[in-house]
Structure 1
């Protein structure tokens, strides 16, 4: 499970790098309507391909329907939240990841306003500033396993989780010109590298804390809370930027991020197994 999570995160960062830089490069070169058409193209090709596959099938009988898992109900989500808040290992990690993700994403649109508006960066430069650092996600995902084997799960998660909160404050000090662009790339590279190390180890650690009958409910509650927090904090930081300035709002987010490291688990609460090979697959580490 840990290895597959590491591969998933590596593919995520690779896709994000290509899509980020490609979109802003195209935006700089073509009209907006062309970008929308390019974005819609793959969906139309997929629809045509699906229609072709159905035509090839002819009069073949439809496959038997299998039972689909029910959607999470309100009671399931409440049970997931209760389990998270009652767990001494999950509770601090829950608040840490939700707040870190919310603060980072809340500052993202303000950074776009600052760079593309006040500082006068071109769209392709903005794409470069956020596309190139995604290489750090690939590097971090690769480093996670050897670091885990050498220093242990808890120490690596605590260190990488703390370091990832230190970088965004530097975005409040960006300035026009090539040096400002290099500063953004360096900060984002450090941030994403730390996230590349932290994310697969965190995901494995979280699954280790969950009995198999609570995984779906707990992860659903976790995901919903994270997305709702990102939406709410993005709106709040937009209002804050309107009352002050985008740079000030970014600086406040960076200062609050420094405090989130206090919410990381200070003690190793990983369940101990007499034989790691006998542990359930979802509870095995990246090693």
Structure 2
């Protein structure tokens, strides 16, 4: 057996902090909707507003964060983001205990959580780039991807059981505590960061600088459009599949949960294969091959039928999709980190996250409207056909990333 390569004490602390908060997030997955339905007697429109507002409004609120994060210590931004999320989620059980909890507060917490997550990610990308050597970036990103999928396998199932036994506020409290522990872990990293100095105040054009960088770079804009559309189309299909399986096909809730939790094991497999795939195919071919493969799976969901065969079909499709995504994701994140200068990375990641959140919200609404006008199966077919067209965005001559063309700031003194 091979020995796991260490990437330095600061990275290990950051990885541990991420693991704690990610497991907490997935333990509390869906808890806000459960509170809205079971505690506040919210109807479908209010639950839909809760889900949509967190993505759309949170993304709009996050627009100024790119320029702001760029000129701040990244660890401080991440700690602040964690503490804000801790306070937001901790306010819910307190409000419930005082009898003042409202659907408006749930929406506000959802918005704050989305904006804080975007700020956290915007600071995390540049920080990782200074913590590890350029040749270790893919290894570092694969470890985060593996952790995310581990949490996805365990969290919703365990969280659902805890909600059934103790109610949704227990998982919300655990989620809140996980952010506090994450902040402590990031603080334990130690820091020699020197934030860039700002010579001019933030201007209106600075707010769209991240998008300008993406659009002005041929390879980045193709990768941006591909990931945004694929993520949006995949996420748009989830509520359609829920209606199809739980409503039209009559699957019990435990089978529906099993259909999505068990295939997440594929995320562990794919994230561990990412380095080998890149070694064998090269970075661009790995992106192209896995990008094509992940686009082929969603259309298969239109074939789902009742009974054991239908359940096995969903699980097989989800497993294949997740394996491909978990190889693609760390490779594309690493490629983006290599292409973008460290001092610009916060703006680019912020623009990327905002656009993806808005795209998911828009495509989910569009597919929902199409399903209402036709059937969920027709809407799944439309989303699947659209996904098949996305690999064309990955074609073309890529920008090579070599030892001489890497962002020179990747070798900053912050590398441990």
Could you say which TM-score interval applies, normalised by the shorter chain? 0.7 to 0.9
Give runs of aligned pairs for residues 97-116 of structure 1, distance below 5 A: 97-116=227-246
Retained in 2: the 8 A contact 1:25–1:123? no
Q: What is the Cα deviation at residue 46 of structure 1?
A: 6.7
Cα displacement (A) at 1:19: 2.1
Alignment of 1:129-278 (within 5 A): 129-274=259-404
The alignment status of 1:81 with 2:211, answered yes or no, reads: yes
Flag the 1:45–1:138 CA change in 2: closer, same or farther, 3 A.
Answer: closer
**In structure 2, distance between residues paired with 1:116 and 1:146:** 39
Summarize the Cα distance change of 1:35–1:76 in structure 2 as closer, same or farther, 3 Å threshold.
farther
Structure 2 partner of 1:22: 158
1:236 Cα deviation after fit: 1.3
How far has the Cα of 1:24 moved from its partner? Answer: 5.1
Give the Cα–Cα distance (whole angstroms) in 1 for the partners of residues 305 and 226 of structure 2: 30
* 8 A Cα contact 1:89 1:265, kept in partner: no
What residue is the counterpart of 2:142 in the other structure?
Answer: 6
8 Å contact from structure 1 (residues 105, 230) kept in 2? yes
The Cα of 1:35 is off from its aligned counterpart by 3.9
Unaligned runs of 5+ in 1: 54-65, 283-287
Please give the alpha-carbon distance, in whole angstroms, between the structure 2 residues aligned to 1:225 and 1:112: 25
> CA RMSD of the aligned region, Å?
2.9
The residue number in structure 1 matching 2:410 is 280
Q: Count residues with an aligned counterpart.
A: 261
- Give the ranges of 4+ consecutive aligned residues of structure 1 lying more than 4 Å apart after TM superposition: 23-27, 43-49
Contact (CA 8 Å) 1:169, 1:254: kept in 2 or not?
yes
TM-score normalised over the length of structure 1: 0.82
Report the equivalent of 2:91: none
Deviations 1:165-210 (A, max 9, x none): 0000000110110110000000000000000110000001111111
For residues 146 and 129 of structure 1, the distance between their equivalents in structure 2, rounded to whole angstroms, comes to 28
Q: What is the distance in 1 between the residues matched to 2:310 and 2:397?
A: 39
Long gaps (5+) in structure 2: 1-136, 185-193
Q: Distance in 2 between matches of 1:46 and 1:146?
A: 33
Given the superposition, is the C-alpha separation of residues 275 and 264 from structure 1 closer, same or farther in structure 2, using an over 3 Å criterion?
closer
Alignment-derived partner of residue 63 in structure 2: none
How far is the alpha carbon of 1:247 from its aligned partner?
0.9
Inter-partner Cα distance in structure 1 for 2:322 and 2:410: 30
TM-score norm. by structure 2 comes to 0.58
